[in-house]
Amino acid sequence: MTSYVANWSYPTAIRFGAGRISELAEACKAAGIMQPLLVTDAGLAKLDITKKTLEILQAAGLRVALFSDVKPNPVESNLSAGVAAFRAGGHDGVVAFGGGSGLDTGKLIAFMAGQKRPVWDFEDVGDWWTRADAGRIAPIVAVPTTAGTGSEVGRAGVITDEKTHTKKVIFHPKMMPKVVICDPQLTIGLPPFITAGTGMDALAHCLEAYSAEHYHPMAAGIALEGTRLVFENLPKVVKSGADIEARAEMMSAACMGAAAFQKGLGAIHALSHPVGALYDTHHGMTNAVFMPYVLVFNRPAIEEKIARLAAYLGIAGGFDGFLKAVLELREEVGVPHALEGLGVEQSRREEIAEMAVVDPTAGGNPLPLDREGALRIFDMALTGSLG
């Protein structure tokens, strides 16, 4: 039975549109940042878009430095090095720049730079976020360069504990960036694999948020429209990366997915997190592989909802029609049908299942995700069987 009691929150100020990266220095000043640390991943740091972004800040008189010791799946040592760089440079804020890894790490650096407790003390469990010294959290300006994670409008960051090989969600309301610049031109150079993986991540966010049981009709509506944008535009941007209109629609869908998933996530993410931590797979692509198998598992609880979603998208056949459309979209954008395509092995199925059921996203799944259920989904995804 639905509980009609909930806490709702929506994103921050977003400057959306092609060319708006030119407003970055102004956005930093509006957030009270004069000495930013620009945080991004090692690969992106070498590209022209990062160099041009640094030049925009320097030309405006801001004393900016670059930190790029960030893995695709960030680990605690990346965060520790970033905090040390922030403190040593006397920075007063962070420009979180890039995909999920750069955005999450940048937000976590701004959060942890003023804290004295270990980062794991602020995991998204109960009210653990209240342990933080909120007055010492540095301001953040976020600039996404992919269209998937939506971390630019989120209040959390994901980081891997290297000792336990588990992904942890760290949460605090003040990790929400003060200003977000969504410039679809920054996504033009993304290769098809990253475009597909990040786009499927946005779809996973929208789909799981829409399916979650928590009462949040506004988030459900956002997830519904975000799903439509992905289905209509992801094939376009994978086929033609220079399609700026489709790139803009995908960037909108990414923001919408992250705004919506305060309603909940589920087994797609709960299984994807341990696989990513153990195999260092691309998060969005891992979500995409698990997606149809989780849909089948959850069918008894979501069939009517998915039928409404299919009708909204103009897909005939209710749940079965939607499942077929997901499979066709995956194939069109190059998602492996089974876990074998990601290099995942059967030998770690028990370990992955045990990690999945305690993942914080598991609690939002429409059906309870126990060990047996996690193993069932894993086995379907390993063999590629939807039966």
For residue 178, the domain's CATH number is: 3.40.50.1970
Whether residues 170 and 223 share a domain: the answer is no
136: containing domain: 13-187
Which residues of the chain are modeled with pLDDT < 70? 1-3, 6
Q: For the full predicted model, state whether its pTM sits above 0.85.
A: yes
Whether residues 156 and 209 share a domain: the answer is no
pLDDT of residue 11: 87
367, part of any domain: yes
pLDDT of residue 1: 46
Whether residues 37 and 157 share a domain: the answer is yes
101 alpha carbon, distance to own chain's centre: 9
pLDDT of residue 5: 75
pLDDT of residue 8: 72
Single residue among 187, 212, 238 that ends a domain in this structure:
187
pLDDT of residue 165: 86
Give CA–CA dist 339/290, Å, rounded.
8
105, part of any domain: yes
Give CA–CA dist 153/257, Å, rounded.
10
* Number of Cβ atoms within 10 Å of the Cβ of 305: 18
Whether residues 280 and 147 share a domain: the answer is no
300, part of any domain: yes
* Number of Cβ atoms within 10 Å of the Cβ of 307: 17
pLDDT of residue 6: 65
Give CA–CA dist 323/316, Å, rounded.
11
In the chain, how many domains are there? 2
Please check whether residue 83 is in contact with residue 113, taking contact to mean a CB–CB distance below 8 angstroms: yes
pLDDT of residue 2: 55
pLDDT of residue 3: 61
5, part of any domain: no
Single residue among 187, 215, 240 that ends a domain in this structure:
187
120, part of any domain: yes
